[in-house]
Amino acid sequence: MEINRIGVVGAGQMGNGIAHVMAVAGYDVLLNDINAEALDAAVARIDKNIARQVSKGALSPEEHSKAMARITTTVDLPELGQADLIIEAATEREDVKHKIFETLLPHLADHTILTSNTSSISITRLAAATDRPERFMGFHFMNPVPIMQLVELIRGIATDQETYEACLGVVNKLNKTAASAEDFPAFIVNRILMPMINEAVYTLYEGVGSVHSIDQSLKLGANHPMGPLELADFIGLDTCLAIMNVLHDGLADTKYRPCPLLTKYVEAGWHGRKVGRGFYDYSGDVPVPTR
């Protein structure tokens, strides 16, 4: 099937990034959020980020203006119903995602493909609560969306080949690379990445190293561009904890038990960069370790 119009649910960090790359690639994008101010902020951020691409010579001023003209916004979720493809990019909570799809269902066109940007939740389970499990799949972008080249495509047990091929075509049009993943907890990237981050938090928790020494060790000793605790702050500690809980619950293996210190930081509201404090304090010019 041909995909021209794309609905994006959620105007946060992931949602605005997805809207950005879709508009630049030539798709008409309808961006939804329950908060009108969040939508305004998302459009402003997209405009700023595309302007940065223009300044680097990656896009022309004309491409900038055309991309922005392709983006419209709405606080009315049912308006997305006639899109060819809908990408849900709301918070990583299964109950919230179910509510979004439940609200959309009566308004969907027969051909509409539903997808979720979830980083860990069962695609099969999300799909089963809709009227189109064969036209439902995981469409997991990496953060930051405009920069990262990988997209995980996750088929639920009922996802048909036509749906997969349609989503693969979108990934190719974005000039990104698709990795096909089976529907098991956290898929590929986070199945490997999150236990590493969790182990780094355990290393801090047990006093093996400080925040600085742990991050420096992985950057200089393993050639990682960011240390694991710095990366956790960038992702969001609440998101990291949610994914670890999905792994722990879904695979029933104690090796996926979230570190108590990670839980404590989330309970304190220290969710990382987005709130100005996590394993680092971002209130000054230079991030300072909080432990």
Q: Output the average pLDDT for the chain.
A: 96
SS3 282: coil
| 134 is an active site residue | no
Confidence of residue 91 (pLDDT cuts 50, 70, 90): confident
Confidence of residue 157 (pLDDT cuts 50, 70, 90): very high
Q: What's the pTM value of the predicted model, to 2 decimals?
A: 0.90
State the pLDDT at residue 63: 97
Q: Catalytic: which of 120, 122, 190, 198?
A: 190
Confidence of residue 1 (pLDDT cuts 50, 70, 90): confident
Q: Is the pLDDT of residue 184 over 90?
A: yes
State the pLDDT at residue 198: 98
State the pLDDT at residue 207: 97
pLDDT in tens, 205-247: 999 999 999 999 999 999 999 999 999 999 999 999 999 999 9
State the pLDDT at residue 92: 85
| Rounded CA separation 96/102 (Å) | 10
Average pLDDT over residues 24-31: 98
Domains of the chain with bracketed CATH? 5-182 (3.40.50.720), 190-289 (1.10.1040.10)
State the pLDDT at residue 35: 95
Q: Catalytic: which of 88, 92, 152, 230?
A: 152
State the pLDDT at residue 120: 87
Confidence of residue 4 (pLDDT cuts 50, 70, 90): very high
Which residues have C-beta within 8 Å of that of residue 15, sequence separation ≥ 6? 8, 9, 31, 33, 42, 89, 90, 117
| 271 is an active site residue | no
| 64 is an active site residue | no
Q: What is the DSSP string of 95-141?
A: HHHHHHHHHHGGG--TTPEEEE--SSS-HHHHHHTSS-GGGEEEEEE
Q: Catalytic: which of 116, 140, 198, 271?
A: 140
Buried-exposed string 37-69: b where 16+ CB fall within 10 A, e elsewhere? ebbeebbebbbebbeebeeeeebeeebbeebbe
Kindly state the DSSP code that residue 202 receives in the 8-state scheme: H
Q: Is the pLDDT of residue 276 over 90?
A: yes
